[in-house]
Homo-oligomer: A and B are copies of this chain.
Amino acid sequence: MRAVVLNCTLKGSPEKSNTQLLADEVVKALRERNVDTHTIRVVDHSVLPGVETDLGEGDDWPGIHEELVNSEILVIATPTWVGRPSSVAQRVIERMDAMLSEQDDEGRPVAYNRVAGVVVTGNEDGAHHVISEVSGALGDIGYTVPGQAWTYWNMGPGPGPSFTDTDHGHEWSVSTGRTMAANLYAVASALAKNPIPPA
A interface residues, Cβ below 8 angstroms from B: 10-12, 43, 49-51, 81-88, 90-91, 93-94, 96-97, 109, 111-112, 114, 124-129, 131-133, 135-150, 152-158, 169, 172-173, 176, 179, 182-183, 186-187, 189-191, 193-197, 199
Contact = CB atoms under 8 A, between A and B. Distances in A.
A196 B188 CA distance: 10
Given A90-B90, A136-B136, A157 B146 contact: no
B93 A81 contact: yes
Contacts of A153: 156-157
A179 B142 CA distance: 11
Given A49-B87, A87-B87, 16 more contacts: A82-B140, A84-B90, A84-B133, A112-B183, A125-B125, A125-B152, A131-B139, A131-B140, A139-B145, A142-B147, A146-B196, A158-B173, A179-B199, A186-B194, A189-B194, A194-B194
A169 B158 contact: yes
22 contacts: A81-B93, A82-B94, A82-B137, A83-B128, A83-B140, A86-B94, A87-B88, A87-B94, A112-B147, A125-B126, A125-B128, A125-B156, A128-B136, A132-B132, A132-B135, A132-B136, A135-B135, A139-B149, A146-B196, A157-B169, A183-B196, A190-B193
